[in-house]
Amino acid sequence: MDIRYSTNQKDFKLYTTDEIREEFLIETLFVPEDVTAVYSHVDRIVTMGAMPVHETLKLDKNIDCWKNFGVNYFLERREIGIINIGGKGIVTADGEEFTLDRIEGLYVSMGTKEVTLKAVDPANPPKFYMCSTPAHKPCPTTAIPFEKAIHRDLGSLATSNARTINQFVHPDVLETCQLSMGVTILKEGSVWNTMPAHTHERRMEVYMYFDVPKDNVVFHFMGEADETRHIVMKNEQAVISPSWSIHSGAGTSNYSFIWAMAGENRAFDDMDVINTTDLK
């Protein structure tokens, strides 16, 4: 498991392109027959990817639970959200099976001892994208089909940011301790996400870009509003955004992304908006 530590605003201003990518970019998420994991000390979020093909994979396949977290099993003091962006797959949580089609989600409670992941059709394997945060109490394990998510249309084609925000792990959908997750899908002809840019001091965020067409990229902007930086990102890569950083992007085509937030506050609209003309 890759471990990343916190970075402050002052030091960040001195980073080279390579150093920014090394600290914040998660380049590889989905490896056939494997589970990847990046543990960030920014709100202690763990970002994971699993791609079972023929094998049934254990969630904690590559995690030393005691060494890394001081627990006997991964979800002893954690919760996790799972969203599938591949073919149909099955997640089993303490013996209960959940079938996830593409763009369907599952929330798994703290205290779940064993989680496994497998494909329904090896010719079209699932890609389970997952984010886990510390938890203080068990909340019900809940399947979240696409129709159960909250769908919010925002932006316009005139400003190149017409998009639908699909809120899966959200207070109006189900109870969690601190984790929120959802999928934003940009309409054809739109390239900007999350504009105007904002920060939220009370929580961090991870973006995972997917459905980026071949030979296209997303320019992900981060840093403080008056001194921004960017990371060029490819399909199915993620980026860690501390609370002090903006998190916004523009693609060379339309695309989709999964956002996951961790922190004290789960109010989706609690953000400090920055006027676009004030960015530097």
**Model confidence over 197-236: pLDDT tens digits?**
888 777 899 999 999 999 999 999 999 999 999 999 999 9
Is domain 2-278 given the CATH code 2.60.120.10 in the classification?
A: yes
Classify 243 as helix, strand or coil: coil
Mean per-residue pLDDT, 113-119: 98
Query: Residue 266 pLDDT more than 80?
Result: no
In what side-by-side order are the strands of the sheet with 57-58?
A: 57-58, 115-119, 89-93, 96-100
Q: What pLDDT, on the 0 to 100 scale, is given for residue 196?
A: 85
Distance CA 153, CA 66 (A): 43
The domain segmentation of the chain, as residue ranges, is: 2-278
Query: Residue 253 pLDDT more than 90?
Result: yes
What is the residue-averaged pLDDT of the chain? 95
Query: Residue 265 pLDDT more than 70?
Result: no
DSSP alpha helix (H) spans, the chain: 9-12, 17-24, 65-69
Distance CA 250, CA 196 (A): 12
Mean per-residue pLDDT, 115-133: 98
Query: Residue 279 pLDDT more than 70?
Result: yes
**Model confidence over 66-108: pLDDT tens digits?**
999 999 999 999 999 999 999 999 999 999 999 999 999 999 9
Q: What pLDDT, on the 0 to 100 scale, is given for residue 268?
A: 63
Lowest-pLDDT range, 13-22, 30-39, 165-174, 270-279? 270-279
Q: What pLDDT, on the 0 to 100 scale, is given for residue 63?
A: 95
Q: Cis peptide before 196, with omega less than 30 degrees from 0?
A: yes
Least Cα distance to 239 among 62, 21, 8, 48 occurs for 21
Q: What pLDDT, on the 0 to 100 scale, is given for residue 270?
A: 72
pLDDT above 70 as % of the chain: 98
pTM for the model stands at: 0.95
**Model confidence over 9-30: pLDDT tens digits?**
999 999 999 999 999 999 999 9
Q: What pLDDT, on the 0 to 100 scale, is given for residue 200?
A: 79
For 85-214, strand residue ranges (E) read 89-93, 96-100, 104-108, 115-119, 128-134, 142-144, 150-154, 163-169, 180-186, 192-193, 198-199, 203-210
